[in-house]
Amino acid sequence: MGGRKKKRSARFAQDHKSKREMIYRQSEQEYGFVEQLLGDMRCLVFCSDRQARVCHIRGRFRRRVWINLGDVVLVSVREFEKDRGDIIYKYNMEEVEHLKSSQEFDYGLLKGGDSVAARWEMEDERFSSLLGGENANDFEGEEEECDIQLDDL
């Protein structure tokens, strides 16, 4: 599973991590938080302008950059379709911390302030009960007695 050369190259790569140049938002671009993976290189992204968009993962990311739930990405908003966009950059954790410290965007807003799941929770009470919300304990005190005995079976 690896020998002397494999270990040497792993140590070299760890010591010589290249630092990427920071990319900031420009016009027609928004910071976003990946809410849901839809398949076919598409995902639902909640953007910093409080709008959810279906975004396409660019071809240069295919099999090079893996985008997961909860990742912070840079979205290029399409001029002709404002509810759609393209993911053009994925931020790593160090870059997200730098963006938060420079107050480039509100991470709390993206993480869960007015997210799609929060809106679903407000619209549907059953969804909140599944998550353990206020309605989860409605049936706790109600227990029906069964007249079935194990000996009868």
CA-closest candidate to residue 50, choices 115, 119, 118: 115
| CA dist 134 → 123, 128, 138, 141, 143 (Å) | 14, 7, 8, 15, 19
Answer whether 95's CB lies under 8 Å from 22's CB. yes
pTM summary value: 0.62
Query: Residue 105: is its pLDDT beyond 90?
Result: no
Query: Residue 95: is its pLDDT beyond 80?
Result: yes
Query: Residue 54: is its pLDDT beyond 80?
Result: yes
What architecture is domain 25-106? Beta Barrel (2.40)
Tokens for 60, please give them.
């240069």
| Residue 13 CB burial class (10 angstroms; 0-12, 13-18, ≥19) | exposed
- Considering only 15-19, 37-41, 84-88, which range has the smallest mean pLDDT? 15-19
- Considering only 45-49, 118-122, 130-134, which range has the smallest mean pLDDT? 118-122
Q: Per-residue pLDDT tens for 58-85?
A: 888 888 889 999 899 999 999 999 999 9
User: Higher-confidence residue: 129 or 76?
Assistant: 76
In the chain, what percentage of residues exceed pLDDT 90?
Answer: 31
pLDDT band at 112; cut points 50, 70, 90:
low
Residue extents of the structural domains in the chain = 25-106
Sorted by sequence, the CB contacts under 8 Å of residue 123 that are 6+ apart come out as none
What is the pLDDT, as a whole number, of residue 13? 56
